[in-house]
Amino acid sequence: MPYDYRPFPYVPPRGLSAAEEKKSVIIVGAGPIGLAMALELARHGTASVVLDDNNVVSVGSRAICWSKRSLEILDRIGVGARAADKGVTWKVGRTFHRDAEVFNFDLLPEDGHKMPAFVNLQQYYVEQFLVEECQANDLIDLRFKNRVTEVAQDADGATVTVETPDGAYDLSADYLIACDGARSPVRSMMGLEFNGELFEERFLIADIEMEADFPSERRFWFEPVFHPGQSALLHKQPDNIYRIDLQLGWDADPEVEKSPEVVIPRIEKVVGHSDFRLDWVSVYTFQCRRLDRFVHDRVIFVGDSAHVVSPFGARGGNGGLQDVDALGWRLAAVLQGRAPARALAAYDRERQFGADENIANSTRATRFMTPADGIERLFRDQVLALAAKADFARPMVNSGRLSKPCIYPLPGAPDAPGLPGVSRPGAVAPDAPMGNGWLIDAMGTGPVVLAIGCDAPGISGAAALHVKPTPEIARRYLGDASQAIYLIRPDQVIAARWTRTTADDITAALAAIWEGV
């Protein structure tokens, strides 16, 4: 059944009748990233006001592929189980050249993780779940039909002018977080520009409703017989909704291509019949761009307002949630006096690194999918030809490297030699079963000293977690070692690790976390 787009209630804000007290955080934008940001801050005890100019979830499926790490973050803020239960779980991707399969991959070949590799779920469901969670949280003031028209800041905070159906008012906060999307009005008001590459290529997105038996996996075609000379992508979603992406070329007229009389015949060629209903259609342009800096004094950019990538690889929404992951605990600590303001520079540094990695992967995929005439096209065509015959060429077929969290460079972080690479400093601590639950659930909201197969010294300011080395934990954290001690940040990123250590060493590494070193 089609999604029921019910408007959220507009409530006249207090600022229309009297000046409001200064807030801790204003979040502009109630999409998935802004809503997740509010819930993550609330998880760390920090209140926020969320302003959005709309009063309904996003129309159309938009972001649909939510990675394992995103599901872990969503689970932490209360909606991961709902997303996983409603969504279509998948981990296998298949790539075709014309009619022949040339490459496939398994994103989660081993068991022992709470969350699946990927879940396909329309953005409107994710937003709905997040809105409901925010509305139930006393630390979140969610205001619909509140459009920010002006932004100003000084050394003590940021102030916005907000337009509502009943008039305008001003609101101030210690910090403003811009989660208002790729066309960010806040970014425009501040005169900030993206840098990067705009590709001369367009793709059509179409959601169709139909009864079908396509498996729950990602399917990508180069030069399919149903769309000669171009590329195509198919994803299964809940409610019998299927996402189809079709390459159009730069000369395509977006308005013409979105018309049903043009879209429907194209879709008929893909699915081989006309027994479907067109649910939503859009045309997008490839771009890989970002701001030079994400932190601008008291205004912080998160998600698409800070960086945008071409959609293949599911790096947009997932990258935005990784921004939330990196910022929430730091900003809460700054506001609560537990960390200096300079700790926010670490968010800027790490998420610029993450954005650059996403942009690099997305740019490579875009160039492989839409090669320029000459050496790029020659390379692409030869790789596709070889992939049908030679194993070594198959991993070179690039239809979008799927999103996974980057490994932050942490120069000087204590690291014991011989421990597994999957759990090195800068990486997200891998999940594992503990016998009575999941390791990721036991980490809490603050820093954790994780002791595996040994005791750890008690450290002020960090929780102690002692676990037995189950086979999965041993494989992911010990390797050939008999014991290890890990210091894990509030965002579940590994800050340091030792096979043996002292309380002084752990205390020094803990101080570096809060200093943003």
Q: Does residue 509 contact residue 413 with C-beta atoms inside 8 Å? A: yes
Q: Does residue 398 contact residue 236 with C-beta atoms inside 8 Å? A: no
Distance (Å, whole) CA 32 – CA 57: 9
Pick from 284, 283, 294, 292: which is nearest to 320 by CA? 294
Distance (Å, whole) CA 181 – CA 296: 17
- At 105-123, the pLDDT tens digits run 888 777 899 999 999 999 9
Q: Which pLDDT does position 103 carry in this prediction?
A: 84
Residues in the chain predicted with pLDDT less than 70, given as ranges, are 1, 313, 517
| Cα-Cα-Cα-Cα dihedral sign, residues 98, 362, 112, 127 | negative
Distance (Å, whole) CA 396 – CA 386: 10
Q: Which pLDDT does position 197 carry in this prediction?
A: 87
Residue owning tokens 């601590």 = 429
Q: N- to C-terminal Cα distance for the chain?
A: 51
Q: Does residue 103 contact residue 11 with C-beta atoms inside 8 Å? A: no
**161: β partners:** 150, 170
Type of residue at 197: E
CB-facing half-sphere around the CA of 460: CA atoms within 13 A: 1
**103: β partners:** 95
Q: Which pLDDT does position 496 carry in this prediction?
A: 98
For the chain, percent helix, then strand, then coil, each to nearest 5?
30, 30, 40
- At 437-490, the pLDDT tens digits run 999 999 999 999 999 999 988 899 999 999 999 999 999 999 999 999 999 999
